[in-house]
Structure 1
Amino acid sequence: MPVTSVESDLEALTMTLIADFAVGPERLWAVFTDPRQLERFWGPPGWPSTFDAFDFRVGGYAKYHMTSPRGERAGGAWEFTAIDEPRGFEVIDSFADENGDPLEGMPSMRMVFTFEATPEGARMTNVSHFTSADALEQVVAMGAVEGSTLAMNQLDAVLQGLRAFAQGQGTRLEILSDQHVRITRLIEGPRELVWRAHLDPDLMRQWMLGPDGWRMSVSEIDRREGGRYRIAWEPEPGTEGEGFGFDGEILLLDEPRRMVQTEHMTGTDLPTTTNDLSLYEEDGATLVTLVIEYPDAATRDAVLATGMVDGMEESFRRMERVVLT
């Protein structure tokens, strides 16, 4: 993970994040000054950002909002106060309303980004300067340390490019917290078709099957926010096992980029999870990212122990072989 430390200092009124990367300072500069690249990591998993404005000059403003799995929005704004290409820049960072204006009663801070070369590549240092201990403690209490760590640890995929980051890696699992995991898989195919494969019942029945010997017996999707879905599988003749299925509600639909839905094993009292699917295309390949929120670590571990990730890899291989050829 790139982030090596996040420390708050009540005496100096600062919070400092340090992260090391295997690229030069110029590449870091390019990522932090391009709103389309910023959107891929500025915001922790489950709260991706959208930059609505990015006027990169001293005195200019960047305005963005982050969207939660249930559609809540949290806004932010930067006023650029110093730019020193490619070594760094400074902003006044504020919580913002739906118009991008600073929220009254919420702290603003001076945030300094510095990019410097290291023997292994480059180091990014981000120092936030607060006007009071209360403001610093308020931001830390809101989860800034964990949130900024999770956000910056997404940066490797952006810096390396999709194929360098994920090609040949298969379906990868990362444990983000007691309640969250992230699963990624690079698919050789355009985002539009990968999206259709996840939502078109006819296409789903061709690939979303797990190990050989199973078939999808139910695939019903009300393709809208608030719509319900139900999916079920059963073994083919000669294959051992009992049928099972899932049902839930679509919470957020941003076609063809993101879908958030609840997932519950049909006919059981097992806990419901929240599944946050996002697709990003680069050079004809699509990175599938699924962030799953569990109620607790015990449920997380029990689900992962079923071989879920291996089953997903079998399905993704089938997608590439059957749907995308």
Structure 2
Amino acid sequence: MPITSVTKDPKALTMTVVAEFPAPLHRLWDAYADPRQLERFWGPPEWPAIFYRHDMAPGGRSHYVMTGPGGESAGGYWEFLSVDPQRSFEVLDGFAQADGSPNHDLPTTRMACQFEETDQGSRVVITSYFNSVEELEQLLGMGMEEGMTAAMGQMDAVIADLRSFAAGQATTTQILSDTRVRVSRLIRGSLEQVWRAHHEPDLLKRWLLGPDGWTMPVCEVARNVGDRYRYEWEQDGGGERFGFTGELLESLPPQHEVTSEQMIGTDGPSTTNELTLTPLTDGTLLSVVITYPSADVRDMILATGMTDGMETSYARLEREVLAAV
């Protein structure tokens, strides 16, 4: 059990949890920064969490849902107030509705996480600040202390599992729900480099090509929220041609943006793509959460080999764009 102490102070309206790990500080930090790792322990074993959004940057937001053994669910959100990489982050921590919006019927706390090196490895100190004694007692009565203790008891295994999140792992796709999937890839490059590679036409044309044998003759990038983009690809020699268009719905450079996407020349429903870039020790974690109109459409698109095509493009991004910067 990594937790070494839990201290409740009704006068200061705080609860402080201290946990220590026989692992480097950067490994502990990455466990909180990477949603694939975070959701393996943020929630008691019988209430596992799925993070649908995790923007670890000032002004960013996270949204997660924990599902109980009977299928019941409980949502939560974080609003990031500050982030000092490998040192600390602070969030507003609250309950969420099914769509991720705040549930104002339940209390919100301020949670500060401090990360420190120790002689044996690393330590995290989590302090929750409550608004009143009544809210402190309400949340403790709902099992906040027991839930956090059970959740963090899972962290040893997560932090020890280095291979699952090693740099160089191929693109992976995780089904989050009937309509949502998350595509993840650790890219060997800085946050700023990877963001630029997604927003400069000259760079996009060099790597966003899928399988070999294609070019990108049309690359119109959306610069501001409300702008539309248009991408078209063509087989070498003037063969088959297709493309996508959509609107930039939300932008938080250089870490997060949301776009709609629809195939050109079709009248079918569009998807929503949420891109998040997170700096980690070995590079930049790229996560794209795609929301489809139905499970059938999701399965149809996944069956086309989408993941393999994205891996080919991301490998090309590392090899032909980032390696040359």
The two structures have a TM-score, normalised by structure 1, of 0.61
Could you tell me which of 45, 48, 52 is aligned with 2:52?
45
- Inter-CA distance 232–65: structure 2 relative to 1 (3 Å threshold): farther
Partner in structure 2 of residue 211 of structure 1:
211
Partner in structure 1 of residue 108 of structure 2:
77
Query: How far apart are 1:303 and its partner, in Å?
Result: 0.6
For the pair 1:221 / 2:224, whether they are aligned, the reply is no
* Matching residue's letter, 2:258: V
* Matching residue's letter, 1:44: F
For the pair 1:244 / 2:279, whether they are aligned, the reply is no
CA distance in 2, matches of 1:77, 1:39: 23
Could you tell me which of 109, 133, 149 is aligned with 1:114?
149
Structure 1 stretches of 4+ with a deviation exceeding 4 A read 38-43, 64-68, 70-76, 86-93, 159-164
Partner in structure 2 of residue 9 of structure 1:
none
CA distance in 2, matches of 1:221, 1:243: 19
Map 1:145-156 onto structure 2 (within 5 A). Answer: 156=158
Query: How far apart are 1:298 and its partner, in Å?
Result: 0.1
- Inter-CA distance 72–211: structure 2 relative to 1 (3 Å threshold): same
CA RMSD of aligned residues (A): 4.3
Partner in structure 1 of residue 197 of structure 2:
197
Map 1:89-100 onto structure 2 (within 5 A). Answer: none
Query: How far apart are 1:195 and its partner, in Å?
Result: 0.6
Q: Cα deviations across residues 242-284 of structure 1 (Å, max 9, x unaligned)?
A: 2111111111111111111111111102221110111111235
Q: Which runs of 5+ in 1 are unaligned?
A: 1-23, 55-60, 81-85, 94-100, 103-107, 125-154
Contact 1:179 1:294 in 2 (8 A): yes
Partner in structure 2 of residue 235 of structure 1:
235
Query: How far apart are 1:63 and its partner, in Å?
Result: 2.5
Contact 1:89 1:114 in 2 (8 A): no
- Inter-CA distance 231–109: structure 2 relative to 1 (3 Å threshold): same
- Inter-CA distance 163–91: structure 2 relative to 1 (3 Å threshold): same
Query: How far apart are 1:164 and its partner, in Å?
Result: 6.0
CA distance in 2, matches of 1:192, 1:88: 30
Query: How far apart are 1:66 and its partner, in Å?
Result: 9.7
Partner in structure 2 of residue 296 of structure 1:
294
* Matching residue's letter, 1:114: T
- Inter-CA distance 123–161: structure 2 relative to 1 (3 Å threshold): closer
Q: Cα deviations across residues 49-69 of structure 1 (Å, max 9, x unaligned)?
A: 333279xxxxxx96257999x
The two structures have a TM-score, normalised by structure 2, of 0.61
- Inter-CA distance 272–235: structure 2 relative to 1 (3 Å threshold): same
**Secondary structure at 2:311's aligned position in 1?**
helix
Query: How far apart are 1:217 and its partner, in Å?
Result: 1.3
CA distance in 2, matches of 1:194, 1:179: 27
* Matching residue's letter, 1:288: L
Q: Which runs of 5+ in 2 are unaligned?
A: 1-18, 43-49, 54-60, 63-77, 84-89, 112-122, 133-137
* Matching residue's letter, 1:63: L
- Inter-CA distance 216–38: structure 2 relative to 1 (3 Å threshold): closer
- Inter-CA distance 123–87: structure 2 relative to 1 (3 Å threshold): farther
CA distance in 2, matches of 1:317, 1:268: 30
**Secondary structure at 1:168's aligned position in 2?**
coil
* Matching residue's letter, 1:77: T
Partner in structure 1 of residue 304 of structure 2:
306
Partner in structure 2 of residue 97 of structure 1:
none
Partner in structure 2 of residue 254 of structure 1:
252
CA distance in 2, matches of 1:39, 1:317: 20
% of aligned pairs identical?
40
Q: Cα deviations across residues 105-147 of structure 1 (Å, max 9, x unaligned)?
A: xxx6331121599xxxx437xxxxxxxxxxxxxxxxxxxxxxx
Partner in structure 2 of residue 278 of structure 1:
276
Q: Cα deviations across residues 45-95 of structure 1 (Å, max 9, x unaligned)?
A: 1362333279xxxxxx96257999x99677872268xxxxx89989687xx
Query: How far apart are 1:293 and its partner, in Å?
Result: 0.6
Map 1:1-12 onto structure 2 (within 5 A). Answer: none
Partner in structure 2 of residue 323 of structure 1:
321
Query: How far apart are 1:44 and its partner, in Å?
Result: 2.7
